Amino acid sequence: MNLIIDVGNTRVKVAVFETNTIKEVFIFEKEKIISELKKIISKFKISGSIISSVATFSDLEQDKIVELLDPIFLDNKTKVPFSNLYHSPKTLGVDRIALASAAVKKYPKSNVLVIDAGTCITFDFINHKKEYLGGAISPGISMRYKALHNFTSRLPLLKPNEVESFIGNDTNTSMHSGVVNGICNEISGVIKQYEDEYQDLTVVLTGGDTYFLAKQLKSGIFAHPNFVLEGLHTILTYNIAND
Is 59 part of any known ligand binding site?
Answer: no
Given a contact cutoff of 8 angstroms between Cβ atoms, the answer to whether 227 and 208 are in contact is: no
Is 112 part of any known ligand binding site?
Answer: no
Is 182 part of any known ligand binding site?
Answer: no
Is 116 part of any known ligand binding site?
Answer: yes
Is 94 part of any known ligand binding site?
Answer: yes
Is 171 part of any known ligand binding site?
Answer: yes
Is 96 part of any known ligand binding site?
Answer: yes
Burial (CB count within 10 angstroms: exposed 0-12, middle 13-18, buried 19+), residue 76:
middle
Query: Among residues 2, 28, 6, 29, which one has the least CA distance to residue 16?
Result: 2
Is 63 part of any known ligand binding site?
Answer: no
Is 93 part of any known ligand binding site?
Answer: yes
Is 239 part of any known ligand binding site?
Answer: no
Is 86 part of any known ligand binding site?
Answer: yes
Show which residues are catalytic.
Answer: 95
Tabulate helix, strand, coil % of the chain (nearest 5).
40, 25, 30
Query: Among residues 104, 140, 142, 144, which one has the least CA distance to residue 124?
Result: 104
Is 196 part of any known ligand binding site?
Answer: no
Binding positions for ATP are 6-13, 119
Binding positions for substrate are 86, 93-96, 171
Binding positions for K(+) are 116
Binding positions are 6-13, 86, 93-96, 116, 119, 171
